C-alpha cells in the first residue's frame, strides 16, 4: 500500500498526515500525551502495519530535535538497563506482526494504546512515590513491554515515561534520557519495517519528508501552547480522544 501512496493520497489522508505531524512536534516539546493520539488515528486511515511504518520516520525526525536540545542531559546507566530487554521486545513484536493479519494487528495495537492510558493518569501520582532503584528487574519489565509496544504501534511513550518518572530523575535528565532512548530505538526499528514488514518505501519516505516542516511548526507551537493550555483539562481531553480512536480500531 505505502509504495503507491505518494501519488494517491486523498485530501482527507493529507489532512490526517498534517495533523499527525503537528501533534508529534507538539508532543516532543512539552504538550504531553498528544503523541499517543497519533497511532490510532493513522491506523484507522492507513491500516495497522502500514501506519506504523508511515509514522516511524516522522518520530525519528522529532526525536532528533529533542536530542539536539537535551543531548547533554541523559542517564545512560538507566538506558543500558533498558536496551537489551527493549530489543527482545522488538524481536517478539516483529515475529508476531509477521504472522497475523492487519485486523488482528490493529486490535493488538489498540490494546497496548488503551493499556497506556491509565499509565498516563497514574504517572502524575508517581511524583510523590518512592523512587525505583533502577534495577535490572525493573529494566526487564519495562524494556520488554516497551519494546513490544513501540514496534507494534509506536506506543511505548506512556510506559517509558512511567519508568523514567519512577526513577525520579531531574526534569532535564528525564527529558534527555527519554529523547536518547526513543531516537536510538526508533532508528533500530527502521530496518525491520523496510526489509521484513515492508512498510517503509521510497514513496512513504517522500511523504515523511514533506511533513518535516509541519513537525518543526508543531514543535514551535508546542513551546508556545504548553505555557497557556490548562494542563489537566487538556490531558483528559487527549485521553478521551485517544480512547475513542483506539476503540475505533477494534469495532
Q: 158 burial class (0-12, 13-18, 19+ CB within 10 angstroms)?
A: buried
* DSSP assignment letter at 132: P
Domain presence at residue 18: yes
Would you give the DSSP letter of residue 125? G
The pLDDT assigned to 123 comes to: 63
- Asked whether residue 2 is domain-assigned, the answer is no
Which single residue is written with the C-alpha cell 485517544? 242
Contacts with 128 (C-beta within 8 Å, 6 or more apart), sequence order: none
Q: How confident is the model at residue 3 (pLDDT cuts 50, 70, 90)?
A: very low
Task: Determine, yes or no, domain membership for 199.
Answer: yes
Closest among 225, 154, 214, 175 to 66, alpha carbons compared: 175
Residue 129 is predicted with a pLDDT of: 53
Query: Mean pLDDT in the chain?
Result: 85
Q: What is the pTM of this model?
A: 0.89
Can you give the pLDDT at residue 146? Answer: 93
In a domain, 73, yes or no: yes
pLDDT of residue 148: 97
Best CA proximity match to 27, nearest among 130, 128, 133, 154: 154
Phi/psi at 30 (5° precision): 115, -10
The structural domain count of the chain equals: 1
pLDDT at 247 over 70: yes
Residue 77: domain span: 7-250
Angstrom distance (rounded) from CA 68 to CA 34: 21
- 230 belongs to a structural domain: yes
Segment 53-91, tens digit of pLDDT: 999 999 999 999 888 877 777 888 888 889 999 999 999
pLDDT computed for residue 198 by the predictor: 94
| Cα 38–Cα 17–Cα 223 angle in degrees, nearest 5 | 65
Lowest mean pLDDT among 131-140, 169-178, 203-212, 225-234: 131-140
Let me know if residue 1 belongs to a domain: no
Span 207-235, pLDDT tens digits: 999 999 999 999 888 878 867 877 677 77
Task: Classify residue 60: in a domain, yes or no.
Answer: yes
Phi, psi torsion values for 218, nearest 5 degrees: -60, -35
State residue 127's pLDDT score. Answer: 55
Greatest Cα pair distance in the chain = 53
Task: Render the burial of 96-113: b for 16+ CB within 10 Å, e for the rest.
Answer: ebeebebeebbbbbbbbb
Instruction: Say whether pLDDT at 131 is over 80.
Output: no
pLDDT digits (tens, 9 = 90+) for 16-40: 999 999 999 888 877 777 889 999 9
Q: What span, in angstroms and rounded, lies between the C-alpha atoms of 229 and 43?
A: 27
Q: Are 200 and 191 in contact (CB under 8 A)?
A: no
DSSP output for 70-93: HTT---HHHHHHHHHHHHHHHHHH
80 in a structural domain:
yes
**Alpha carbon separation from 52 to 40, 105, 151, 239 (Å, rounded):** 10, 10, 8, 20
Give the range among 127-141, 167-181, 211-225 with minimum mean pLDDT: 127-141
DSSP string over 179-206:
HHHHHHHHHHHHHIIIIIS----HHHHH
Amino acid at each position: 500500500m505505502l509504495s503507491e501512496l505518494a501519488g494517491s493520497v486523498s485530501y482527507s489522508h493529507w489532512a490526517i498526515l498534517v495533523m499527525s505531524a503537528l501533534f508529534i512536534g507538539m508532543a516532543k516539546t512539552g504538550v504531553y500525551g498528544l503523541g499517543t493520539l497519533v497511532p490510532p488515528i493513522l491506523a484507522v486511515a492507513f491500516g495497522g502495519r502500514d501506519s506504523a511504518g508511515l509514522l516511524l520516520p516522522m518520530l525519528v525526525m522529532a526525536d532528533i530535535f529533542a536530542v539536539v536540545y537535551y543531548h547533554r542531559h541523559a542517564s545512560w546507566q538507566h538506558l543500558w538497563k533498558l536496551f537489551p530487554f527493549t530489543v527482545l521486545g522488538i524481536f517478539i513484536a516483529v515475529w508476531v506482526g509477521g504472522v497475523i493479519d492487519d485486523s488482528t494487528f490493529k486490535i493488538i495495537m489498540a490494546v497496548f494504546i488503551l493499556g497506556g492510558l491509565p499509565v498516563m493518569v497514574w504517572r502524575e501520582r508517581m511524583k510523590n512515590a518512592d523512587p525505583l532503584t533502577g534495577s535490572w528487574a525493573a529494566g526487564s519489565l519495562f524494556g520488554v513491554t516497551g519494546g513490544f509496544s513501540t514496534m507494534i504501534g509506536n506506543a511505548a511513550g506512556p510506559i517509558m515515561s512511567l519508568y523514567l518518572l519512577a526513577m525520579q530523575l531531574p526534569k532535564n535528565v528525564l527529558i534527555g534520557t527519554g529523547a536518547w532512548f526513543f531516537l536510538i530505538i526508533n532508528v533500530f526499528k527502521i530496518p525491520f519495517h523496510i526489509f521484513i514488514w515492508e512498510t517503509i518505501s521510497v514513496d512513504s519516505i517522500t511523504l515523511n519528508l514533506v511533513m518535516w516542516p509541519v513537525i518543526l511548526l508543531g514543535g514551535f507551537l508546542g513551546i508556545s501552547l504548553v505555557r497557556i493550555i490548562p494542563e489537566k483539562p487538556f490531558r483528559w481531553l487527549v485521553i478521551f480522544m485517544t480512547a475513542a480512536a483506539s476503540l475505533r480500531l477494534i469495532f
